[in-house]
Structure formats: structure tokens, C-alpha cells
Amino acid sequence: MSRPLSHLYAVLALVPLFVLPGCGEDAKTTKAATASEGSSRPQPLLAIATTGMVADLVRAVGGDLVIVEALMGAGVDPHLYKPTRDDLQAIVAADIVFYSGLLLEGRMTDTLVKVSRNKPVYAVTELIDTESLLEPPDAEGHADPHVWMDVTAWSGCVEAVCVALCEKLPAHKTSLRSRAEAYTQELLELDRYAREALATIPAERRQLVTSHDAFRYFGRAYNLQVLGVQGLSTESEAGLQRINALVDRLVEAGIPAVFIESSVSPKNIRALIDGAGARGLKVRIGGELFSDAMGPSDTYEGTYIGMIDHNVTTVTRALGGIAPPLGMRGQLAEGEVSW
């Protein structure tokens, strides 16, 4: 199911996509696939993913059938990322390529389009109902790409990955489907935790102020008002008027904490804190959130579940809600970083 050039342009233009078939098979096919899985195992596929969130999704579904390499690591901003020569070589060598889509990887668009002529390239967001996407007024008609901030929405990307891997590894449909279903259940657990924890934040404090506008889906899903200093893309500049308006909001609402992001400079957040302080309101940094990148590799926060667990727990506790210090699974890094 390699994507033709016209298909990728359709994705990038946010035209509704055709519905891809599922990974299901009839009883006869299931039996044959199961027998095949037991009798022989191919070399693992080499999959390239753009962001850590996409890579983690592919690992969860592919298991030991896939070796996944992410181009962008912890702290890397995909809005500004420009592929290196090593990246291009890795993409060329890959068996399959996954990216987030919805113009998140803006500077990589040309590369992805060219690669799609010779090998399968998939946007994991391609099966998400376009009517559920947010289109902020300052986004020039483009959907907000930060869908992973809503766990339910991101769980819809599991199917797209499963479909892609099933087509590449048809003899392993049964095991791929099993892993996809198991991971979806984990995401349901994560979403439940997010809803329960964030619901404990007092009504007067349910305002989330961050470095850039990456948390709109988070706010919609979990009933928080979200205010970003910068726009959807970190390429946009935060003007003095915007900063002053947010200082007014902080002071009027008595918001106790604002948040920096791991992949965005904290300078604008510091300007907010200084501005509020000059008007008599002490505002602290409630913590560092993961927005466009996950935590360091080989850590719990370096997984999608750990990333969201960290964000939910950090926001809840900083804004006066109740959440366990080490998060949903008791696996978050201990202690708080002093900013």
C-alpha cells in the first residue's frame, strides 16, 4: 500500500482520505497466517519514524518484527527540524517510513514526498476523522497537528500503523493485530488516569499557560483552558502585545503557575513571570512539559505513555489538583527540576 505522490499531497492539503481496510482476515487466512508465523520469521523490518511519538507507536504495534529508528530525539522541535544528510541516508535505507502528518514536519515535506515514489510512506494521522481536528483561527486553514495531546485521538493512529505493517508483513497479521489491541487498552488506561487526575484541579485554576500553542487537544479532551505564548508552530514569534495580554490574564485570574516545554526556549515564559511579578503576582514555573518531543530515550518519559503521564501529573499538581507524585504507574523520575 505504498502511497503515490498524489496521496501525500492530499494528506498535506488535509483533503479527507479514503478509508483503509483493517487488518482483519477470515478464519482460513487467520489459520494460514498463524501457521506461517510459527514456521518462519523474516528479518525485522527497518522502519524510520520522524518523531519520538510516532516511533513509539510503531514499536508498540510492531514488536520484535520491526526495528524502529526515530530521526528526532528528546528536545528536538519538529516545526524547525531540517533533515541532515544522515537522515536522508537512513530514510533511503529503510523498508518503511512513518511520519505524524498534518504539516507537523513542515520542513521535511519535500523529502517525504520524494521518498514516497519508491517506498511505502505513511502518515499515522491519516485515519483520524477530519471533523475531529482543531483548526485554530491563526493557522491559515491548516489543522492543529498536535493530536497526540489527546490520548483518545492518538489511539486512533494505532490502526493506521497496524494496517501499514500488516500490508508489509501479511504473514504476521494475527500477532500485529494482537499487539495493536493490547496497546489500545493501555492507552484507554492512560486516558482514564488523565481524566480523573485533571478533574481534581479547582475550577478557578483550570488555565494552562505554555510556551507555544501545542496543548489545544489536551485542553479540549480534559476540560482546561489553554493559552500559548506562541502560535501552533514555534516558527511564529510572540509579540509584546501577546505577552502583555497573557500577563493581564495571569493577574486577573491569579494563575499560580505557568509551564515551559522541553523543545521550546523558556524566554517567553520568563517574560510572563517577570511581567506578572511587576504587577504584584508571584507566578512560578510549574514544571517542564513534553510537547513536540518526548523525554530522553531509555526513560519512562521517553515513551508516549510516560510523556503523557508526566504532563498530566505535572499539570495537575502544579495547578492545585491531586495526583500521585510519581504518576499513574509510579514510574516518573523522582524530584522536581528547579527553574
Burial zone of 16 (CB within 10 Å; 0-12 exposed, 13-18 middle, 19+ buried):
exposed
Separation between Cα atoms, residue 326 and residue 179, nearest integer Å: 27
pLDDT at 208: 93
User: pLDDT tens digits for 232-264?
Assistant: 544 445 567 778 888 888 888 888 899 988 877
User: pLDDT tens digits for 212-238?
Assistant: 788 999 999 999 999 887 655 444 455
pLDDT at 213: 80
Residue with cell 471533523: 131
Separation between Cα atoms, residue 254 and residue 181, nearest integer Å: 43
pLDDT at 95 over 70: yes
> Which residues are CB-contacts of 252 (< 8 A; sequence separation ≥ 6)?
none
Q: Which region, left, alpha or beta, applies to residue 239 given φ > 0 means left and ψ of -120 to 50 means alpha? A: beta
pLDDT at 10 over 90: no
pLDDT at 264: 77
- The pTM for the full model equals 0.83
User: pLDDT tens digits for 126-167?
Assistant: 999 888 999 877 667 789 999 999 999 999 999 999 999 999
User: pLDDT tens digits for 268-321?
Assistant: 888 888 998 999 999 999 999 999 999 999 999 999 999 999 999 999 999 999
pLDDT mean over 324-330: 96
**Residue 33 pLDDT class (50, 70, 90 cuts):** very low
Ordered domains of the chain (ranges, CATH): 5-194 (3.40.50.1980), 200-318 (3.40.50.1980)
